Amino acid sequence: MFKRLIINDFGKNRLITIFTCIFMAVTAMLLGLSIFLFARLYSSIDMLMTAAETPHFLQMHTGQIDKEKIAGFAEKREDVEKMQILTFLNLQNSQISIGDISFETNMQDNGLCVQSECFDYLLDAKNDVISVNSGEVYVPVAYRNEYDIKTGDIFRIGNEKLTVAGFLRDSQMNSMMASSKRFLVSESDYERLRYLGSEEYLIEFRLKEGSDISAFDSAYKDMGLYDNGPTITYPLIKLMNALSDGIMILVILLVSIVVLIISILCIRYILLTELEKDMKQIGMMKAVGISRKDIGYLYISKYMILSVIGCITGMIFALIIAGKLAEGIRDLYGEPKNALYVYILMLTGSFAGQAVILLSVRQSLSKTRKLSAVAALAGATERKGKKNMWHTASVIVAASVFMILVPLGMKNTMAAPDFVTYMGIGNSHIRADIRQNDIKSQTDRFIDAIKKDERVDRYSLMQTSSYKVRLENGNTYNLMIENGDHGAFPVNYSEGAAPKNENEIALSILNAEEMDLGIGDKISVFMEKDGTASEYKCVICGIYSDITNGGKSAKACLKDDTTPIMWSIIYISLKDEGLAGAWVNEYKDISEGLKIVRIREYLEGMYGTTIRNISNASFMTVTLSGVIIMVVIMLLMRLIIWKERSESSLKKALGLRTLKICTDYLKKLAVYVISGIFLGVLTGVLLGQRLAGTLLGMMGAQGFKFVIDPLSTFIYVPVFIALSAFVAAFVSLREIKRISASECLNSGLE
């Protein structure tokens, strides 16, 4: 009997059945998709880092080193499993081209290396260790799609040529957020091409399982070993690998949670309306002796069937979409360690969403348990809940607007020119880096040239060196301190302000947290003056966001300092920003060690992939929101029209035209849609900033302001949502034409 009742109900309420199934399918799709992508990303990264044997501690160093001294330190450490020193041949990007593609505008530090012997292996598409032949080069896989590089293309460095034999996965430098990229060549080719660049050392350690990486880091620095470059640890490498695609996945997860809430609200009101409609039948079933448990089972069974259909449909669509979104993950990191485990997690996520919906259904059914057969036959609840359905439209419109604005705001924030100030970088028109060869003489030559250039409005020279510092508790650290005029092109400070005097210093957020320091605390900086080491006490005046150089840096105004310079950065602002492109082209060949680029191009080089991923998620969200609004408004309008059918019939009997009745519905809908849009914009701007702050804070960018595009936020999105709602309303209002004036008489007779 129950089976026949359920089948009859499906046939009688086709539209409601379809809409309910759609909500369940979309919820299953988004939850399954986000969990699938997250599990695949995490598992693939873990698989790659395990296969490559990624170092737990990596110290980059420019300059001479004593390998025996480093080996002696490693032998005395019980936590060291393996140690090696690799070389990295820095190349000028202007010298590099592959096929017809020049790398002169590429913002990465590109260089050559040979295959490692102990660990930190460079892997092929199957995550096997690459063996490269003479005359061949393996290109970072991140460049394959960006530049449309193919096997067999010619790789040129100046007048030298190599053939692209394939693409490599580099567990350290896969992500575009990593500022360096390694090209793999044979040992003979490396020696032959050594004259084309400058060498940098990668001092790497693999630690025994369970070792404290922070303790090892401190011990390395306390020994005064070579550290003329960034320090990178295993957790940071893993985070950098995950962030680019991880941000997109977190956005999809946020959207899926909003959709789950919308689904629960809609299905709840579908069920309540259905219960009201079926109240007399429920009373009859109770009157003939059918228990409350069996009546509840009847409705639960119906929604369980819809849940299974929706879940299967959602999973199919999730797999189709995941195939496209996971392409980048597969290219960069390979297949996951255990594909079955990933699919199990995907199923679990989808089923969890359906379970939440079914629990909501079960809770809504509780009203039938307390209702007597007599009350049910009398239709005791027939007039309850009308206004709530209109409120539901307002809430769902607000949720849809919020769902669009968060990824859109994140994309706008990261694409904004001043986002660089949250990266520890000055917001200028142009940035010039000098990191190779004779840094001081090249810097002086470049500064002399721009001083004479009348197109230059202002510039600021920043020079970074490595310093030993001591805290008041006696602990010592090595800091990369950037010296210069930090007021000319200030970065964003989450606390305090830029250093202005010689006795002031600002720390990046990660350094401040690691050292447990805040504004007003003091540290001692040991620097060289005329070849003599001097101790200088500085007060911490500011704490700023920085996601460059591993997120650990400092800024100061140290004078008469002769500490060796690691690199120079010059920020330049032109009188006419429109000349920036031509200006860069004119100056790019002025010095061999100079890398010069517009700030916008720098941002694109660092975060282009992440911004594109968020843009894809944003497009999907806009499309999904439009569909949800149309489905929800169609559903709610039909339910409301059904609930008020006798009233509409009475109005027709009294002489009101169909157009007038439809207009009244549209006016009422407009009030709730407009209030929902207002609430959605408000929460999208205020709460959206907090959510985006949490996501971007994982990258080290804190304290930023949400960049709001006025046209998108206050015009395009509201108009899109309003149009979607009213298109759906016009479709639903056709039901008014089918209501006859005589229905109210039949209703009264009943």
CA-closest candidate to residue 656, choices 744, 749, 731, 727 = 744
Q: Which two tokens stand for residue 517?
A: 């320091």
Amino acid 388: pLDDT? 57
Amino acid 558: pLDDT? 84
Q: Where are the alpha helices (H) located in 171-233, listed in sequence order?
A: 187-193, 213-222
pLDDT, block means (10 residues), the chain with 750 residues: 59 74 87 88 89 91 84 89 91 86 82 92 91 93 87 91 93 80 93 88 91 83 75 81 77 84 81 68 65 70 86 89 80 82 87 88 68 49 53 87 86 75 78 78 86 90 86 81 88 87 88 88 84 83 77 83 82 89 81 77 74 80 86 82 80 82 89 92 82 63 68 90 91 83 60
* Whole-angstrom distance, CA of residue 393 vs CA of residue 262: 10
Predicted TM-score of the model (pTM): 0.76
Amino acid 282: pLDDT? 65
* Whole-angstrom distance, CA of residue 555 vs CA of residue 546: 11
Amino acid 522: pLDDT? 92
* Whole-angstrom distance, CA of residue 313 vs CA of residue 321: 13
Amino acid 386: pLDDT? 47
Amino acid 563: pLDDT? 79
Residue 697, CA distances (Å) to 5, 270, 506 in order: 54, 40, 19
Contact 691, 254 (CB under 8 A): yes
β 122-123/109-113 pair status:
unpaired
CA-closest candidate to residue 422, choices 611, 696, 708, 701 = 701
Would you tell me how many other CB atoms lie within 10 Å of the CB of residue 664? Answer: 13
* Whole-angstrom distance, CA of residue 399 vs CA of residue 683: 9
Amino acid 387: pLDDT? 47
Sort residue 255 into left (φ over 0), alpha (ψ -120 to 50) or beta.
Answer: alpha
Q: Is 514 exposed, middle or buried (0-12, 13-18, 19+ CB in 10 A)?
A: middle
